[in-house]
Amino acid sequence: MIIEKRKKLIKTIKENRIAITYSGYVEIVSGGNIEYKSNLEKVEDKIHELEVSIEKIKDKLDLINAALDYVKDDKHDKIIEIKYFEKKINNLITEVLGVDEKTVKRNKNRLVEIISIWIFLDKILNKI
């Protein structure tokens, strides 16, 4: 959804050649001089910024999907689906799965930890 919105914004910017900024100009301070960018430069910068953000979002989605694929064979993987995609609370999950609430909490926490490691593995490795 957010990717489509950003792609639509890029299309609008390209079609109308407008830069969406908070002020009427962009200041770049280098050596005490202030450089003003042309509207075309602002447009190109905004398009590039949006394209980079789309790629970052796609990368995160790929990591999330890989993590979810990794835990899909787990005995309690339905807990994640019901809790986060169907937005059900723990006592409803216990009814659906026919397990104790402690089992739901324990396995939800365990699966979330596994998913988190997959998603943030690069940050974890950089700290080592």
Residue 116 within a domain? yes
Q: Are residues 35 and 87 in the same domain?
A: no
**Domain count across the chain:** 2
Residue 63 within a domain? no
- Looking from the CA of 16 toward its CB, the CA atoms found within 13 Å total 10
Confidence tier at 29 by pLDDT (50, 70, 90): very low
> 61, 58, 76: which is closest to 114 by C-alpha?
76
pLDDT at 32 over 90: no
Q: Are residues 51 and 98 in the same domain?
A: no
Mean pLDDT estimate for the chain: 83
Confidence tier at 13 by pLDDT (50, 70, 90): confident
Rounded-to-integer distance, Cα 113 and Cα 70, Å: 12
**Owning domain of residue 107:** 72-128
Rounded-to-integer distance, Cα 13 and Cα 3, Å: 15
Residue 79 within a domain? yes
DSSP 34: E
Which tens digits make up the pLDDT trace of 77-125? 999 999 999 999 999 999 999 999 999 999 999 999 999 988 888 777 7
Residue 36 within a domain? yes
Residue 66 within a domain? no
Q: Are residues 21 and 50 in the same domain?
A: yes
Confidence tier at 9 by pLDDT (50, 70, 90): confident
Q: What pTM was estimated for this model as a whole?
A: 0.64
Radius of gyration of the chain (CA): 22
113 vs 18, more confident = 113
- Looking from the CA of 101 toward its CB, the CA atoms found within 13 Å total 5
Q: Are residues 35 and 86 in the same domain?
A: no
pLDDT at 45 over 80: yes
Q: How far is CA 90 from CA 77, 81, 83, 107, in A?
A: 14, 12, 7, 11
Q: Are residues 40 and 85 in the same domain?
A: no
Residue 48 within a domain? yes
pLDDT given at position 42 = 82
Sequence-ordered list of residues with C-beta below 8 angstroms from that of 27, at least 6 positions apart, any chain: 34, 35, 36
Q: Are residues 52 and 78 in the same domain?
A: no
